[in-house]
Structure 1
Amino acid sequence: MHLIDIGANLTHDSFDRDRDTVLQRARDAGVTRMIITGASREHSPKALALAQTHPGTLFATAGVHPHHAVEYTEECDAEMRALHAHPEVVAVGECGLDFFRDFSPRPAQRKAFERQLQIAVETQKPLFLHQRDAHADFMAMMKNFDGKLGPAVVHCFTGTREELFDCLDNDWHIGITGWLCDERRGQHLREIVGNIPAHRLMVETDAPYLLPRTLKPMPKDRRNEPAFLPHIVEELARDRGEDVATTAAATTLAAAAFFRLPEA
């Protein structure tokens, strides 16, 4: 398999001790390209710097997650725009709304999201989106930019069947993580992932978060990493009624086209 992990938080400090080894394990597992998530003023520049040290295999996003929305000042907006001038930054985000934790006030979340949607309009780069427990507001804000945006992926999709079809009706892509492997809260995903068209389906680990609960053996530190992406693909293929090679090839093709990656 030649897989693309579309969302890995490899600038997280849990990788500081062994980041190069983690990257090698990913390559050995067939994860040949990765999109490093930029989700704050601190980590978006780090994601770019990491991508620049691995040209052609690592790429970056630049954005401010709704948890960090209070960071989104005029200075922050200028910083994001400067990051997007670099070709290694292939998507706007992670951005969106999160009403589950409300780590930032909802008005601040909406403002930060709107500013980043405007960057996406101006750059026509793809959007790397986050939405949790905010579907109605999220859809309304996206509709305000209808016809102006480029492609979009709803990263780490965990929503309902109805929410999935809302996304698909808008021609958005869907990112599937190890949430699928969680028997406590991911069972509904297993029942609906077969509805995602192959050309709109992508896979991601969201490392170091969302370690697949079906992974055996479990790493002692419970840290997720890109080398575990093939396990997610195997689970996803089973739920879609496909062989693993078919799912792997489709998700890789979709990701390469979506992020406009150069040929491997």
Structure 2
Amino acid sequence: MPPPLLSLIDIGANLTHDSFDHDFDQVIERAQAAGVDTIVLTGTDLSSSHRAARYSQNKPHLFKSTAGLHPHAASEWTAEIANEIQQLLNHDEVIAVGECGLDYNRDFSPRQSQRVVFEEQLKLAARVEKPLFLHQREAHEPFFELLKKYRHQIVGGVVHCFTDTKEALEDYLSLDMYIGITGWVCDERRGAELQEIVKHIPADRLLVETDAPYLLPRTLKPKPKTRRNEPCHLIE
């Protein structure tokens, strides 16, 4: 196989997901063959944050990681968990707080709990002076309100898996946030609006991610039988 023409960073992949347990090494080999030479492993709860941190500490040339609680897991938040996450963030390879934010689409945790825990992680990001890996779904107004409140205290962040409106994009860019785009943009139906919005993202604010194993690009041919996304598909 000829060497890849690009050197890419997948800024968000959930490789601690159990669907990767049986072939993790092969997934990484395929990613590197496709030119993906750095992968940010996403922590979504305490367990995945610990596991992602171990990977990033064992292979810091290949992996970086995040540590935090996804809004789905906001009900799990305790002072002890907050302390453990902060301890993980003391490691150089753990580069961001999150995945954190608000998700009003499924409401797996009560909205008030989500807001409290998001605000706690904004404060945490300010203390450790690391950026945020942000999640927002159907909650733009309260999410933006909190983000704006703490913007002067935090070093920055990326709104991961952006699928919102042009107005929401403009709000995030006004706070100098980075914007993460996934394979959603490859969906001829669901991604049609996003394909137009992407044109308004400045090149120096645009980041790409797979969100593996989720959001397999619909343009991918042939599609894997498992329908599992992985970092090698970043080039799609």
Quickly name the TM-score band, shorter chain normalised.
Answer: over 0.9
1:100 is matched with which residue? 105
CA-to-aligned-CA distance 1:49-97 (integer Å, 9 cap, x gap) = 1112212110100010000001111111011111111111000100000
Gaps of 5+ in 1: 232-264
Which of 161, 164, 168 in structure 1 is aligned with 2:166?
A: 161
The 1-side partners of 2:23 and 2:151 are apart by: 43
CA displacement at 1:182 relative to structure 2: 1.3
The 1-side partners of 2:148 and 2:132 are apart by: 14
Secondary structure at 1:24 match in 2: helix
CA displacement at 1:146 relative to structure 2: 2.9
Q: Is residue 2:141 matched to residue 1:109? A: no
Report matched runs for 1:172-191 at 5 Å.
172-191=177-196
Does the 8 Å contact 1:35/1:58 carry over to 2?
yes
**Deviation >2 Å, runs of 4+:** none
Report matched runs for 1:59-208 at 5 Å.
59-208=64-213
The 2-side partners of 1:52 and 1:149 are apart by: 24
Secondary structure at 2:69 match in 1: coil
2:60 is matched with which residue? 55
Gaps of 5+ in 2: 1-5
Which of 226, 230, 233 in structure 2 is aligned with 1:221?
A: 226
The 1-side partners of 2:40 and 2:229 are apart by: 15
The 2-side partners of 1:63 and 1:38 are apart by: 6
CA displacement at 1:144 relative to structure 2: 1.8
Superposed CA RMSD: 0.7
The 2-side partners of 1:146 and 1:85 are apart by: 21
**Aligned partner of 1:147: which letter?**
H
CA displacement at 1:184 relative to structure 2: 2.5
1:243 is matched with which residue? none
The 1-side partners of 2:30 and 2:83 are apart by: 36
TM-score, with structure 2 as normaliser: 0.96
The 1-side partners of 2:165 and 2:190 are apart by: 11
Secondary structure at 1:42 match in 2: helix
